[in-house]
Amino acid sequence: MIATGRNLVIACLLVGSMAASAKAAGALAVGTCGAYGFAYDYTRGAAASRAALEKCAGECKVVPVTRACGAIAIDGTNACGPHGYAVARRLGQAQNTALRQCYEYGGKECVIRAWACDAKG
């Protein structure tokens, strides 16, 4: 069967969308005293989690970031104090929620410490 121009375009779009969705796993690792790690655009969630943990110093909690963005906020005057983190479809939403959590937990001058988005975030 010979591919027509239209069939070729459809095939290219399908292959492109499969490649994008194949790399839609990410993770954020959150630790104490501003420690963090992140990994994005991995093919598997477990691999992203391992990579994020490897970049995070100390005991860290993994937060999956799949087709989304993640952000970590810390108190700029006390990195070992209050912090917040969030995952959302849009970067601004993740950052706002992380900042709000930091303030809710007692932060005085909360700032975004790190953020990452995967292929679809």
Kindly report, residue by residue over 44-77, the tens digit of the pLDDT: 999 999 999 999 998 999 999 988 999 999 999 9
Give residue limits of the domains in the chain.
22-117
Query: What's the pTM value of the predicted model, to 2 decimals?
Result: 0.75
Q: Does residue 86 carry a pLDDT above 50? A: yes
Model confidence band, residue 119 (pLDDT cutoffs 50, 70, 90): low
What is the arithmetic mean of pLDDT over 88-100? Answer: 97
**Token pair in block for residue 74:** 């810390």
